Amino acid sequence: MFQAKIRSDTLKGIVNIISTLVDEAKFNIGPEGLNLKAVDPAHVAMIDLDLKKEAFEEYAADETKIGVDLDKVKDVLKLASSGDIVEMEQDEEKSRLVMKVGNIVRRMNLVDTSSMSDPRVPELNLPALVELSVSEIQKGIKAAESVSDHIALTAEPDYFELYSEGDTDSVNLRLEKSQLISVSADEKARSLFPLDYFSNLVKAVPSDTSVRINLGNNFPVRIMFSLADGNGSVGYLLAPRIESD
């Protein structure tokens, strides 16, 4: 059993972030909230999302799993204005999700979850931690996209840097300690990442969000941030690329 009401903006934010990695998602639902773990088909990135029942306007659920086609949910969200409430109800008999916005009712077949595994989140020892507003990164990404397909993230004790290098041109964005919320790095930590994954995630994060970036040397990066006024949290792991020089 799953029955809930949620603000359309909150649901939009969540769907935008998940759909950077997958088209179909399995939500593990329980009485206190829901969790989603997903890996993209190429196994480059993983998302681990928690949403407490407090993120919803109304929430009632037993333990259940529902598989959802995110494009269909986006279709419904296009009908909602900012501030609208979206109702969701699992129809267990017909294996459907019924979504309501205003007078409109959409009944959608659920996706079979039997073949969808729950990926295990690996434990990683990432020594550097930077916290900053996502809007700072968003500007740097836009600049990087015109020169390269990769982006190097560097944390030093007193700054954080995004650097992209193409065949002829390079772009860098250096944020000094004073422009960051915090930086904690005993020594330099630097890894190279595929720009498209990094960019898709960063663009999906609401622009007033502060993100924490957990970085090592030639190691995956973990990007963490809150959603739904602190009632949701996202951990995003992105695998590194090999730096050739």
Binding-site ranges for its own copies (CB under 8 A)? 72, 75-76, 78-79, 102-109, 136, 139-140, 142-143, 146-147, 168-175, 179
d(CA 143, CA 72): 33
Q: Is the dihedral of CA 223, 59, 90, 120 positive or negative?
A: positive
Residue placing its CB nearer to its own copies in the complex, 178 or 244: 178
Q: Is 178 in a helix, a strand, or coil?
A: helix
Residue placing its CB nearer to its own copies in the complex, 95 or 117: 95
Minimum separation from the CB atom of position 139 to its own copies (A): 6
Q: How far is CA 121 from CA 22, 26, 96, 183, 236, in A?
A: 17, 16, 29, 24, 10
Minimum separation from the CB atom of position 145 to its own copies (A): 9
For residue 143, give both structure tokens.
């600049």
Residue placing its CB nearer to its own copies in the complex, 48 or 136: 136
For residue 225, give both structure tokens.
């941030």
Q: Is the dihedral of CA 238, 74, 56, 34 positive or negative?
A: negative
Q: Is 72 in a helix, a strand, or coil?
A: helix
Residue placing its CB nearer to its own copies in the complex, 84 or 196: 84
Minimum separation from the CB atom of position 115 to its own copies (A): 18
Minimum separation from the CB atom of position 148 to its own copies (A): 11
For residue 157, give both structure tokens.
């004790």
Minimum separation from the CB atom of position 140 to its own copies (A): 6
Residue placing its CB nearer to its own copies in the complex, 55 or 180: 180
Please name which of 207, 148, 215, 211 lies closest in space to residue 185, comparing C-alpha atoms.
215
Minimum separation from the CB atom of position 234 to its own copies (A): 25
Residue placing its CB nearer to its own copies in the complex, 50 or 161: 161
Residue placing its CB nearer to its own copies in the complex, 77 or 227: 77
Position 202, amino acid: V
Minimum separation from the CB atom of position 168 to its own copies (A): 4
- Integer distance in angstroms from the first to the last C-alpha of the chain? 55
Q: Is 217 in a helix, a strand, or coil?
A: coil
